[in-house]
Amino acid sequence: MIQKVMVLFQKYREMILYLVFGGLTTLVNIFSYFVLTDLGHIDYLVSTAIAWVLSVLFAYFTNRVWVFQSTASGAGALFKEMGSFFACRLFSGAVDLGIMFLCVSILGWPDKLIKILANVLVIILNYLFSKLFIFKKGKGAEQ
């Protein structure tokens, strides 16, 4: 039984780890947002932006080291990788802010519920960006 589980884990390792660390990243985002809005009494859009920064920093290091096991080395390759990561996360962060603004400010829906739902879309977008553009395998020595 354990051997079968290990075989399945190895087969789906990247996706499993992405879900685990994506979930943790989402928790960092949501927890930060809740603390900033509820305890800090900070505006929901400002809180969303701060929570985004904290979660992106957490996500970059966990994705680079454990999920996609990046082998990029050298200043140029690392800056390119990090730049691509942050640019894609900036896009998904803008999607998050846009959803929050539309649903909370315009439609008047509850901010906490919308924050959680928006993160589902953000996780999907971020996985696709990371898998297809940022940490893609097979770049050889250039990576």
Q: Which of the 8 DSSP states describes residue 6?
A: H
Cβ-contact 115, 51 below 8 angstroms: no
Low-confidence ranges of the chain (pLDDT < 50): 139-143
> Which among 117, 125, 142 is positioned nearest to 56, based on CA atoms?
125
- Single pTM value for the model: 0.74
Matching residue, tokens 């994506």: 22
> Which among 61, 2, 5 is positioned nearest to 70, based on CA atoms?
61
**pLDDT at residue 138 in the model:** 62
Question: Which residues have a Cβ under 8 Å from the Cβ of 45 and sit 6 or more positions away?
Answer: 97, 100, 101
**pLDDT at residue 67 in the model:** 94
**pLDDT at residue 140 in the model:** 47
